Structure 1
Amino acid sequence: MKATCFALVDCNNFYASCEKLFRPDLAHRPVVVLSNNDGCVVARSKEAKALGIKMGVPLFQINELIKQHRIVTFSSNYALYADMSARVMTTLELMAPAVEVYSIDEAFLDLSLLPHTELTQYGQFIRQRIAQWQGISVCVGIAPSKTLAKLANHAAKTWPKTQGVVDLTAVTRQRKLLALLPVGEVWGIGRKLSIRLQALGIHTALQLADANPSFIRQQFSVVVERTVRELNGESCIPLEEQPPTKKEIVSSRSFGERITAQPLLQEAIAEYVARACQKLRKERQHARQLTVFLRTSPFSKSQEPYYANSANATLGAPSADTRDFLPLANRLLQQIWRDGYRYAKAGVMLSDFYDEGVYQPSLFEPTASYHADPSLMQTLDRYNQSGKGKIWFASQGVKQSWAMKRQHLSPAYTTNWLQLPVVS
């Protein structure tokens, strides 16, 4: 039986790299990407990291640093990042027989069929191909288990002498790296687990690898035991080529301005319903249950009264048609709305999913009359994803004054015909 071999390909500073890609003038400038409403730093270029900017720091705390070092700030451009991610993943799928898209900027590749003597060279080939075709820098970690591949990728990012590729197929190299890394760097070992492991005298990844698996299972769980086996090169976590079906879909945002008028909140809820239903159709699922929730800010400096509430309801039959959920969402909002509050956030959640065409209605309940023909929604999705424009329901509003702040938003370079980059 052929030994397993995984490669973890991880894009470097992905959000910041996407922003720099279409701005050659920013090649050596520090860049940070901000969270919703331009609140906190969620991504940093290597130049910004070198200035000591921490992940999650509020923007107002680094205003002086921004002026001093001419740091460029961007609002999160999710459309750009998702499209660039899809391009990177499509390229990776051409380079390996099986690929698991682990996150927007990470993927596991199956390299089991490659000779071990060629793994480092192939890792470099992956880096060169992604850089040439997408302009994105990646690092590659190669190992016989996914947990070791994660650590190999960490080493590839940490030590420049590796040239972005680390091969841990050799046991001696595995143990050398594990001895250098604290146990908290191991995939799946969080802060709380680290504290408990350190209390047992396990401070490094190597000490965890050398621990008795049965003892670890007794003290913790089968999941941590599996991690121990993975650290010893035993593949316990298989490649998942098909991501598991979602159990729920949530669409929610904090508002750019506090909402005090119910019609504005109705617009926001309608917008979130439309987004959630579009995601539902992309998953090829139908849903029966809808939850609407809202809250004021728990961090209000003016000591405003706090209020949070939610309500849910179930359709008579599963649906993926936005028109079936919009009136239901409005009724639920009416139930939980309270006058006199300044609402900071709201959202919707779809749940109780069914595959298309598998729902069996009850013989003793009246048949629900919902929009069964998917043609309109398919046309709507197709046009909205074409980059030529947008079609939306009137209940979603036009001005959307409640929308989150995105004062530093870059153009939709790859998904909007009107915002394509111009080369002069």
Structure 2
Amino acid sequence: MADRVFALVDCNAFYCSCERVFRPDLARVPIVVLSNNDGCVVSRTSEAKALGIKMGEPWFQIRKAFEAAGGMAFSSNYALYGDMSERVMTVIEGLVPALEVYSIDEAFAELTGVLGDLDALGREIRAQVLACTGIPTGVGIGPSKTLAKLANYAAKRWQKQTGGVVDIRDPERRAKLLAATPVGEVWGVGRRLTARLGELNIKTAADLAAADAWTLRKQFSVVLEKTARELRGIPCLELDGEAPPKQEICCSRMFGKRLHELPPIREAVATYAARASEKLRGQGSVCKRVRVSIRTGMFNPDEPKFARGVLCELPYPSDDTRLITQAALAGLEQVYRPGFAFSKAEVLLLDLCQRGEYTDDLFAPTQPEASRQVMAVLDAVNAKWGRGTLRPALVPPTPGWGMKREMMSRSFTTDLQALWEVR
């Protein structure tokens, strides 16, 4: 049987790269992309890193200095990033035997049994993705998923020397990389775990690979044991197939401004319930319970604090936006209290199951067939003409309480009114 081979293809500073595709004039400009409500940095280019910008830094603290240095900031444009991600993954999928989309900007590929020069294949993947989407990537190749992830780390860190592709199937080359990599850079080893491992004098990836696997399981977890085995070149993690249906679906956003009155909060909850219901139908599920919650800001010492949620039972398992929204709004009436400045609302769908996986009570009501037909028409219209074309009456097209995104670029690939203009 052929030795296992995995590759990890990871987009470089993905959100920033998406912005640069449609702004080639920013090719050498420091760029950051900000989180919801333009709060903190969630993506940064190498030029921004050179200015000392760190992930998670609050925008209000670095704005003046960053802009004075010639930097450019963008609000998160999720519609653009999601569409660009699909394009990247489609290109990669056409070049490898099997693909697992791990996140919006990275994917594992199975290369076991692939003939020829895999280093050249990695460079072909990079070239095709760049040519078809404009997104730069790094490719790591190794005998396990964890080693492929580590190789990708090296490909991006030493991009000029490696050309963005690193293959560590060779044991000698792999040993050098493991010895040079801090244990905190290993996939799945976070800050707290790094500190605990340091107490055991495990400071590099090589140290972790050499540690006794059963001891790691006993003192830490089976996950860390598998990580150590993977670092030795023993594959313990397979490519995941199609993701299983989610057991919970949540839609939650910070408001763009504090809300004091009930009507705009009702609009927000109705909007979140509609989006959560859309996700529910997208995976072919129904839900039995809805939890709605609201809260104030928790970090301003001058604001009174309040947070509360309530569970709402549905009369029958359903995926009908109207019924779920009705339940969520009834719950909101129970938890809302006047006199507070609310900053966030959340709608959580619980007790999910697939259609046909539950047994109907002979004497209990069930979702009418007409509901399924109405929701099918709703989804079909929105899929063809854009989300929100048909929506509940309470959901506003442009909410005044929406997220603050003052520096958001156009949705170049998903909105006909925002197509790229070439003059």
Partner of 1:380: 378
Partner of 1:226: 226
2-structure distance, mates of 1:83, 1:28: 24
Q: Do the aligned partners of residues 382 and 69 (structure 1) sit closer, same or farther apart at CA in structure 2, a change above 3 Å counting?
A: farther
**Structure 1 letter corresponding to 2:381:** Y
Which aligned pairs between 1:121-270 and structure 2 lie closer than 5 A? 121-159=120-158, 160-270=160-270
Tell me how far 1:371 sits from its aligned partner.
5.9
Range with bigger deviation, 352-361 or 96-105: 352-361
Q: Give the TM-score normalised by structure 1.
A: 0.96
Name stretches of at least 5 consecutive residues in structure 1 with no aligned partner.
Answer: none
Work out whether residues 138 and 165 of structure 2, in 8 Å CA contact, stay in contact via their aligned partners in 1: yes
Partner of 1:422: 421
Deviations 1:342-378 (A, max 9, x none): 1011110112111123321123x42235565433323
Partner of 1:42: 42
Tell me how far 1:119 sits from its aligned partner.
0.9
Range with bigger deviation, 177-186 or 189-198: 189-198
**Structure 2 letter corresponding to 1:174:** R
Deviations 1:249-275 (A, max 9, x none): 110111111111101100000000011
2-structure distance, mates of 1:152, 1:372: 53
Tell me how far 1:404 sits from its aligned partner.
1.0
Tell me how far 1:108 sits from its aligned partner.
0.2
Tell me how far 1:379 sits from its aligned partner.
2.9
Q: Do the aligned partners of residues 384 and 70 (structure 1) sit closer, same or farther apart at CA in structure 2, a change above 3 Å counting?
A: farther
Tell me how far 1:398 sits from its aligned partner.
4.4
Is structure 2 residue 330 aligned with structure 1 residue 331? yes
Range with bigger deviation, 393-402 or 252-261: 393-402
Partner of 1:307: 306
Range with bigger deviation, 245-254 or 119-128: 245-254
Partner of 1:295: 295
Work out whether residues 35 and 75 of structure 2, in 8 Å CA contact, stay in contact via their aligned partners in 1: yes
Size of the alignment, in residue pairs?
Answer: 421
Range with bigger deviation, 45-54 or 142-151: 45-54
Deviations 1:380-405 (A, max 9, x none): 22333335572221111344111111
1-structure distance, mates of 2:390, 2:365: 31
2-structure distance, mates of 1:380, 1:262: 27
1-structure distance, mates of 2:420, 2:336: 44
Q: Do the aligned partners of residues 398 and 10 (structure 1) sit closer, same or farther apart at CA in structure 2, a change above 3 Å counting?
A: closer
Q: Do the aligned partners of residues 413 and 47 (structure 1) sit closer, same or farther apart at CA in structure 2, a change above 3 Å counting?
A: same
Structure 2 counterpart SS, 1:8: strand
Which aligned pairs between 1:337-352 and structure 2 lie closer than 5 A? 337-352=336-351
2-structure distance, mates of 1:423, 1:48: 28
Q: Give the TM-score normalised by structure 2.
A: 0.96
Name stretches of at least 5 consecutive residues in structure 2 with no aligned partner.
Answer: none
